[in-house]
Amino acid sequence: MAHVQYLKIEGRSIGFLALLALLGALIAAGLGSALYMEHNGHWVTGMNNQVIWGIPHVFAVFLIVAASGALNVASIASVFNRQLYKPLARLSGLLAITLLAGGLAVLVLDLGRPERLIVAMSYYNFKSIFAWNIFLYTGFFAIVAVYLWMMFERRFNDYTKSVGMLAFLWRLTLTTGTGSIFGFLVARDAYDSALYAPMFIIMSFAYGLAIFVLVLFAATRWTGRPLGDVMVARLKNLLGVFVASVLYFVVAYHLTNLYMTGKHDVERFILLDGGVYTRLFWIGQILIGGVIPLVLLYSKLGRSRAMIALAAILVVVGGLAQMYVTIVGGQAFPISLFPGKEIINSSFYDGVVGKYTPSLPELLLGIGGIGLALGMTTFAIKVLPFLPQSLADADVDPHHKAA
């Protein structure tokens, strides 16, 4: 394989500026929403004392999970030594950083007291998974930054493998930490399962790769850089494997719960009569996020790049639905305070399904996080050579023979 040439994008076209303006507007809307919510207090949102983490958490956790998954492409290149993926490694590392930044921004801006971030960075309770995560997130930024440096600086290229290994192990730990936020909660029936950690890892593979594919398609197309079928076919098959694996974990999680009589009520709620949560589970998470992408990727439709892109978009949409069902649905199901008894009256909504309707500011804050991640990515590929000049078959595949 010829040495990979990376080039900054020119970034002077109307299209590029329009894209930056659009993403900037999303960021501004998100910031404005956060300011509005913090100024008035959270009563102006859909959240309440029953559903305390709303749609901002859905976006934040999705982005954080996707961030660690976006690094996979680089890991495949440097840890598992697959040469084909090497030209994509820089973009992979970049997306890992920007998606995490977007997710964390949403998470922090939804805090009751976001201005106390410095408190969170200076007072630690080391039994808290949140406290571990503060180290895991900041450490991830640092390690991936060094990883990118090793890739960029030719003198240090030899260290890419060892730093890549560290980054890979770190990202597995990071997603374990994110999944365990829910997995370690004994109070709520929908959580309290060790499966959350591995399930979040496999979800990160799917979400991260879906976003990576979309960004790669857009970046190569809008800059007129060639992207060969060999690369596209590999990414397509990989995405399919990840989506199928997510479905497997979801089945394992629900089957485990269905076997335990004590969890029947929460399973009935999610799978059968939970209203919006049941619909989001079957239509959003399973159909849109799993079954349809698999059909698109593995049938003849998968020969079309538009269909692959559609599948990736559906994985993202399905992933957000999965997060909504997990985070909001898991809280909406009432806590079991008095096993064996029914709560027939309470001023604090005990024993009834928690009500939650996302408000516009919350939604804008969440979307602002996506805007921030993509805006940072767009800016970065203009100022630094993240994108390879060509991903044509002949340039990436040493065994490629021109037809």
Partner 1 sequence: MSMNRRQFLGLSGAAVAAATLAPGLRLIELAQARSPEEATTSLHRWGLLIDSSKCADGCTSCVSACADENGIQSHSRPATDAQWIRKVTLKDKQSGHVQTLPLMCQHCAEPPCVDVCPTGASFKRADGIVLVDKHICIGCRYCMMACPYKARSFIHEVTTGQKAHAPRGKGTVESCTLCVHKVDRGDGSTACADACKKEGHQAILFGDLKDPASEISKRLASQPSTQLRADLKLNTGVRYQGI
Give the residues lining the site for partner 1 (CB under 8 A): 38, 40-43, 47-50, 52-53, 111-114, 116-117, 119-120, 123-125, 127-131, 134, 181, 184-188, 331, 335-350, 355
Shortest distance, CB of residue 63 to partner 1, whole angstroms?
17
Shortest distance, CB of residue 39 to partner 1, whole angstroms?
10
Comparison of 112 and 275: residue with beta carbon closer to partner 1: 112
Shortest distance, CB of residue 38 to partner 1, whole angstroms?
7
Q: Quick check: 45 and 362 in contact, CB under 8 A?
A: yes
**Cα–Cα distance measured from residue 217 to residue 371, given in angstroms and rounded to the nearest whole number:** 18
Query: Which of 359, 370, 369 is closest to 54 using CA atoms?
Result: 359
Per-residue burial over 35-44, b if 16 or more Cβ lie within 10 Å, else e, is ebbbeeebee
**Token duo for residue 203:** 């979800």
Which stretch of DSSP H or E encloses residue 387?
A: strand 387-388
Longest dimension (CA), the chain: 75
**Cα–Cα distance measured from residue 141 to residue 99, given in angstroms and rounded to the nearest whole number:** 11
Shortest distance, CB of residue 37 to partner 1, whole angstroms?
10
Contacts 24+ apart (CB under 8 A), 332-338: 332/50, 332/51, 332/274, 332/277, 332/356, 333/188, 333/189, 333/190, 333/265, 333/266, 333/269, 333/270, 333/274, 335/187, 335/188, 335/189, 336/189, 336/265
Helices (H), 110-228: 117-120, 129-152, 160-183, 196-222
Shortest distance, CB of residue 271 to partner 1, whole angstroms?
22
Query: Which of 361, 281, 291, 372 is closest to 325 using CA atoms?
Result: 281
Shortest distance, CB of residue 334 to partner 1, whole angstroms?
9
Shortest distance, CB of residue 366 to partner 1, whole angstroms?
17
Comparison of 177 and 318: residue with beta carbon closer to partner 1: 177
